[in-house]
Amino acid sequence: MTSRLSTSPFRDRLYEPRNVAEMLGVRYVLAGSMHASETRLRLTAELTEAEAGHVIWADRFEGSLIDIFELQDRVSIEIAKRAVPHLRQIEFRRARSKRPEDLSAYELTLRAIDFLHGRSLDDLVQAQHLLVSAIASDPHYATPHVWLARSHVLRVGQGWSEDVARDTGEAERHADAALERDPGDAYALSVSGFVQAYLHKDLDRALARYDRAITINPSAVWAWAWSASAHAWRGDGAKAIGLIERAIDLSPFDPHMYNFAAIACGAHAVAEDYEAAIEWGRRSLRENRLFSAAHKLLTLSLALAGRATEARAAAAELMSLEPGLTVDEFRCRHPGSGSGHIDRFCDGLRRAGVPP
């Protein structure tokens, strides 16, 4: 991303996006125009892929000149919400189209992230191999360390870990390595917080890192989402619901929406709104049938809502994914095991048929 000062020479003259991109060394150009009346302001924005010369995304925004700062904030957030998913997909396609020997550390990381969206154990293993290659290619690059840390948390959370202590250590090592390389990276802070919350049950330390990430970047969607998880694990369902709604509003087309939906499911379950929890749990599983966290939360929510037949069917599907799961193991692993809702959650799993 190029700074505002670097782009200021282009402000008062018309340039082709390709020429701007060549001069600044960028791949995409976001341009806009502004028209004002006595009380109203209209802004248009257009994102162009410079090399191909075609517009990826365009939109128009209107507001009052009296609330100019509110309009400025709204436009910034809306551009991030609407344009970033298009950029992400283009970059994924670009990385997929290259031969492995031609991939940079950045492109290896993009391909790894794409595999993590694939959601199976084989996809996760492939993603980890790519991230290790990215680190070897550029040892100073923080991002592959962040995603490798997250992949180890995912391995534990999905019940795929053959050595939880090892995966916990690797997650923490790579989260720390990312922050050593870039202490101001909001996503690295968010993942580091999640490692502390999910693997170490240190919710205070996790929330401090999420707060710092949001201070650095108020649109740090994972800091908002995992803050919701932390407050749910503390037993504050109402606060968790508000936070996950904020995360979803910031990234409504996120490829990890199944994860956001599962967090919303857990937040509503803690708040004892089981019907809403069931709705969110089913949404999560429609987008990712293999997401174990959503299966657990949906199963216990169905049981606690008194929907016994559906709860038993959900438990059977859960046990097919994690055959060794027991209620005691869930209690031990759950980051909210010290909060008041844990007995309710365990009772729900037990009623659904999960072994004690």
pLDDT in tens, 225-248: 999 999 999 999 999 999 999 999
Q: Name residue 41's beta-bridge partners.
A: 36, 63
Nearest to 120 by CA among 88, 159, 148: 159
The count of residues in the chain is 356
- What's the pTM value of the predicted model, to 2 decimals? 0.78
Q: Are 214 and 224 in contact (CB under 8 A)?
A: yes
Q: Is residue 180 part of a domain?
A: no
Q: Is residue 258 part of a domain?
A: yes
pLDDT tens for the chain, 356 residues: list them: 444 444 445 455 555 666 655 555 666 777 777 777 777 877 787 777 666 666 767 777 777 767 766 766 777 666 666 666 666 665 555 545 445 544 588 889 988 988 887 678 999 999 999 999 999 999 999 999 999 999 999 999 999 999 999 999 999 999 999 999 999 999 999 999 999 999 999 999 999 999 999 999 998 999 999 999 999 999 999 999 999 999 999 888 888 899 999 999 999 999 999 999 999 999 999 999 999 999 999 999 999 999 999 999 999 999 999 999 999 999 999 999 999 999 999 999 999 999 99
Q: Is residue 99 part of a domain?
A: no
Nearest to 334 by CA among 156, 147, 151: 156
Q: Which of left, alpha, beta for 235 (phi over 0: left; psi -120 to 50: alpha)? A: left
Q: Is residue 270 part of a domain?
A: yes
What is the phi/psi pair of residue 146, to 5°?
A: -60, -50
Q: Is residue 46 part of a domain?
A: yes
pLDDT value of residue 95: 47
Provide the 10 A C-beta neighbour count for residue 47: 21
Rounded to whole angstroms, the Cα distance separating 307 from 318 reads 16
Q: Are 218 and 232 in contact (CB under 8 A)?
A: no
Question: What sign for the dihedral angle of Cα 48, 54, 57, 58?
Answer: positive
Strand ranges of the sheet holding 54-64, from the earlier edge strand across to the other edge:
28-36, 40-49, 54-64
Which CATH number covers residue 302?
1.25.40.10
Residue 249 is encoded by which pair of tokens? 């509003």
Q: Which of 85, 103, 127 is the last residue of a domain?
A: 85
Q: Is residue 75 part of a domain?
A: yes
Q: Is residue 335 part of a domain?
A: yes
Residue 225 is encoded by which pair of tokens? 């989402």
The total of structural domains in the chain comes to 2
Please compute Rg for the chain using Cα positions.
Answer: 22
Q: Which of 85, 100, 125 is the last residue of a domain?
A: 85
Host domain of residue 349: 228-356
Q: Is residue 124 part of a domain?
A: no
Q: Which of 85, 118, 139 is the last residue of a domain?
A: 85
